[in-house]
Amino acid sequence: MALEVSKQDRILHVLNRLAFGPRPGDFEHVSAIGPERYVREQLHPESIAIPSDLSERVNELRTLHMSPIALFIEYQRPLKMARKDAKAEDGGDKASIKDATKDLRVKQRVVMREAVEARMMRAIEGPRQLQEVMTAFWFNHFNVFAGKGLDLIWTGSFEETAIRPHTFGKFRTLLGATAHHPAMMFYLDNWQNTAPGSPGSKGKFEGINENYARELMELHTLGVNGGYSQADVIALAHILTGWGLPKQGGGNPMRRGEGMAGGETGGVFPFMRRRRNFMPAAVDPSGFYFDESRHDFSSKTLLGHRIEGGGIDEGEHALDILARSPATAKHLSFKLAQYFVADDPPKALVERMAQRYLATDGETRAVLETMFTSAEFWDPRYYGAKFKTPYEYVVSCVRATGVPVRNYRPLYGTMQILGMPLYGCQTPNGYANTQDAWLNPDAMMTRLSFATALGSGNLPLENPPFEEDADGGGEMRPEPPVIPRNGVGKVNIKFDPGPHGPKMTPPDPVQLAATLGDYFSPATASAVEAAPTQLRAPLILGSPEFMKR
């Protein structure tokens, strides 16, 4: 009996930590092959087949597979031109510009919707769960904010091409991919980072911008106490001068630009201003461009290393130094252990993970393996010790019910109400994953209301994907002044499905209990037993133990 209980604990533990909780059938699967083999499977996602239905639906998300330049041409340039035309015709009246560009802005929303759908459908249905957990983890580590200008159309591409393919490999590769993606260059302003006095220094491009250099060390690699100084920040900023977005095709330095995505994002692709069908020949579809004319070619000293002036290679050299630093090894190991083990992770484990990182030249899979085979990871005191973030709570609820989702809007809206809109974290440090950050009274009411709506079949999840509409749907107030700070798509959750009736099959509480291993505290079990049938699934999803992983 003791053995059996212990095995159940371990099964649930791996499903809670390496996956976003159990889907119907998962408990039996892990029970059959054993938790240890499940870990090995998940560490090698290429060995797990993806159901054809899921891959087809992911493939159908057209914008997910477009390059940043293609996205710009299709979704941003027409908007730009329409704004310009409306301005010329109506004298720049904001309302008329808004009116003239309404359809294009609505059209543009498909990019963010498809990014959200891709993330959610893979997290909910995908069998390569650790891949999904790590994609979310690394995206959050290298957070970009979709509400900032061009990142509205580039965030999906950033995750798909810079994060997802590199989740288990060398950290240096992942780091390089993020540094070469225009979403990051734009988000942390490095596209404007310019050597003062360089030939290309002009207008908005005439000085050092430290933003990316600082976050690259503070957040992405060394950590805030990683031993760098303000002089290192400045040196790294100089090293990264000229890293950014494509300039005008004719080879001229970027001219004073006009805003592409709002008042402060001028100067991107100014070639668009001249002729609307003009395309420079040499633009890399990746959207990354190194502008030599704005680079500081002098030699620099970074963290005690001399870096000879040499153009873009200096930046690559700097990324090598940062990726190999013991401070980076420790910083990343701490974050991984905090995510996978406990809010306050055991120091000895973090140290061993950091050693493995250094010994393998920063291979994420090896570091994860060290963690997943550690005594600390399997210490029962940590089972169920992590309070789920809103993302984890919503995804795990839907997984547990097994409901087929075609409309992700209520899920996105719930995360937004709970303060964790997907791709909506404004700050570069990403969302926290600790209990301190997410447990509060109001959040509990919202979680339980969501659990009730989902558990009683009252969320319109099975509707076909929603159409974008101009006011963002929902019952938001019609006009400013109130604008949410994280203004990514105003989506309202509706717990009441409205006059058209529920759009999902209510989950069967018996099936739901079985999916979760029939594994509840006495208080939960007796409350579920005492409840009306219709409330049993809500109670299971809203139980204290299901708040944790």
Partner 1 sequence: MKIFQESNSCIECSSAVAAPISRRAFLRRAAILSASGIVLLSPHAWAARSVDSSSKRRLIVVFLRGAVDGLNVVVPHGESAYYDARPTIAIGRMGAGDGVIDLDGHFGLHPALAPMERQWRDGTLAFVHACGSPDPTRSHFDAQDFMESGTPGVRTTQDGWLNRTLAAIPGTHGPTEALSLGPTVPRILSGKVPVANIALGRAAEKPMPMDRPVIEAAFDKMYVGNDSISRAYRDGRQARMRLISELTQDMTEANAGAPSPQGFSDDTDRLARLIGRDPTIRVAFMALGGWDTHVSEGAASGQLAGHLKPLGEGLASLAKSLGPNYQDTVILVISEFGRTMHENGNGGTDHGHGNVMWVMGGPVKGGKVYGEWPGLSTASLYQERDLAVTTDFREPIATVLRSHMQFSEAQIDRVLPGRPRSSRNVDGLVRV
Give the DSSP letter string of 259-273: BSSSTT-BTSSGGGG
User: At its nearest, how many Å lie between partner 1 and the CB of residue 212?
Assistant: 13
Size of the site for partner 1 (CB under 8 A): 85
- Our CB check for partner 1 shows the closer of 90 and 284 to be 90
Give dist(CA 146, CA 444) in Å, integer.
27
Residues 399-418 that bind partner 1 (CB under 8 A): 416-418
Stated as kind and residue range, the H or E segment containing 243 is strand 243-244
DSSP strand E in 348-406: where? none
Query: What tokens appear for 366 in the block?
Result: 């090896």
Residue 376 to residues 37, 201, 397, 548: CA-CA distances in angstroms?
A: 18, 53, 27, 18
Compute the least distance from the CB of residue 435 to partner 1, in Å.
Answer: 7
d(CA 372, CA 424): 30
The structure tokens 């399997």 sit at: 378
Q: Does 267 bind partner 1 (CB under 8 A)?
A: no
Q: Are strands 300-302 and 305-307 parallel, antiparallel or unpaired?
A: antiparallel
Nearer of residues 26 and 114 to partner 1, judged by Cβ: 26
Residues 330-389 that bind partner 1 (CB under 8 A): 384, 387
**Given the complex with partner 1, which of 355 and 426 has the nearer CB atom?**
426
Binding to partner 1 (CB under 8 A): which residues in 203-242?
A: 211, 218, 224
Contact region with partner 1 (CB under 8 A), list: 124-132, 191-199, 343-351, 474-482? 474-482
The amino acid at 453: A
365: number of CA atoms within 13 Å, CB side?
Answer: 15
Residue 518 lies near partner 1 (rule: CB under 8 A)? yes
CA-angle at 409, arms to 406 and 410, nearest 5°: 100
532 touching partner 1, by CB under 8 A: yes
Alpha-carbon distances of 467 from 71, 107, 195, 416, rounded to whole Å: 19, 10, 45, 19
Name which of 72 and 387 has its Cβ closer to partner 1.
387
Which lies closer to partner 1 via its Cβ, residue 231 or residue 530?
530
Give strand ranges (E) for 258-328: 289-290, 300-302, 305-307
**Should residue 444 be labelled a site residue for partner 1 when binding is judged by CB under 8 A?**
yes
46 binds partner 1 (CB under 8 A): no
Q: Label residue 53 left, alpha or beta by phi (over 0 means left) and psi (-120 to 50 means alpha).
A: alpha
Pick one of 251, 263, 304, 499: the residue that binds partner 1 (CB under 8 A): 263
Q: Which is nearer to partner 1, 360 or 486 (CB)?
A: 486
Nearer to partner 1, 156 or 517 (CB): 517
Interface with partner 1 includes 2 (CB under 8 A)?
A: no
What is the Cα–Cα distance from 309 to 145, expressed in whole angstroms? 32
Contact region with partner 1 (CB under 8 A), list: 105-113, 126-134, 168-176, 524-532: 524-532
Q: In residues, how long is the chain?
A: 549
Residue 469 beta carbon to partner 1: minimum distance, rounded to whole angstroms: 18
For residue 137, the minimal CB distance to partner 1 (Å) is 20
Token pair listed for 359:
């010994």
Q: How far is the CB of 304 from partner 1 (least distance, A)?
A: 24
Among 480, 500, 505, 516, binds partner 1 (CB under 8 A): 480
